[in-house]
Amino acid sequence: MNDTRPFGTFAPTGLTRWVIDRTRGLPGSWVGRRIAMMLRRVVMRKLKGQPLDLETFGVRMRVVPDKNVCERRIIFTPQYFDLDEIKLIAARNREGFTFIDVGSNVGWYALLVARKVNPSSRILAVEPQPEIFDRLVHNIRLNPFGTIKAVDCAIADKTGELTLFLDPRNKGEASLKIVNSSQTDTIRVPAVTLLDLIRREGFTHVDAVKLDVEGAEDLILDPFFRDAPAALHPSLFIIPDVPDRWQVDLPKLLQEKGYRQTLRTRMNLVFERTR
């Protein structure tokens, strides 16, 4: 369970604070990233599972970097972490803006977008892992945005209860497919299709969707485009660049549905709807 003590209780001090300040100022070059990794290891050995309270780009978060790659990136190198993608999402800001963050983890995307869009926006942060979901809810409550709803389920190709595969070495890596680990844990979680989620929440349009479900993106998008009316097709999709994990050619599918790839980063592909 989350520690409920006030934000700031776990503020970094001493060597930890010094390392965070240094790594957050490093450039995105190969050398900068290597230095950040070396300094990060020093602090990770020192923390031993302790949480940290940090404000990053105007967003408050309590993060626990032990066994969660996402949280380590938030702490030490947020300047490398999908800021171009988040900027593209927020650029679609308008009255009644809608964004669905599938695989929200501890809320990085949802919170940064919420900080940039207007109060009439609706953001869904979807996370199926109970422990990570608790951290997500806690981080949402630390901020005053009021536009985010946390949803504790998986998004899949069918609605019901499904098996979720977990990597014990990285709590942020969970998938409907077996994750890349010699040791894999499983839990049973509720699941809905993307279309069912959109309809259940009463969305009449979707401005952007970020899908990060560790290679199961094809299981979500193939039935979505088969069943969803064009009016509910999101204007923008962000998906991880992992074609070797898919059984469907997702870039081709998206192009056939009227999307154009407008950005490719180290980790992701961005598609924007053209018709």
- Structural domains of the chain, ranges and CATH numbers in brackets: 14-75 (no CATH), 83-273 (3.40.50.150)
CA distance 128 to 160: 13
Beta bridge partners of 272: 236, 260
Inter-residue contact 257 to 230 (CB < 8 Å)? no
Q: How confident is the model at residue 13 (pLDDT cuts 50, 70, 90)?
A: very high
Q: What is the pLDDT of residue 145?
A: 93
| pTM of the model as a whole | 0.94
For the segment 247-272, the average pLDDT, to the nearest whole number, is 96
Beta bridge partners of 271: 237, 261
For the segment 123-139, the average pLDDT, to the nearest whole number, is 95
Inter-residue contact 103 to 209 (CB < 8 Å)? no
Nearest residue to 103 (alpha-carbon basis) of 191, 23, 184, 37: 191
Gyration radius of the chain's alpha carbons: 18
Mean of per-residue pLDDT scores for the chain: 93
Query: Which DSSP symbol is given to 70?
Result: H
Query: Which DSSP symbol is given to 274?
Result: -
Grouping H, G, I as helix, E, B as strand and the rest as coil, residue 58 is coil
Q: How confident is the model at residue 185 (pLDDT cuts 50, 70, 90)?
A: confident
Q: Give the strand pairing for 52-56 and 59-63.
A: antiparallel
Which tokens is 87 given?
């900027």
Structure-token match 């680990």, residue found: 181
Q: Is 38 exposed, middle or buried (0-12, 13-18, 19+ CB in 10 A)?
A: exposed
CA distance 196 to 125: 15
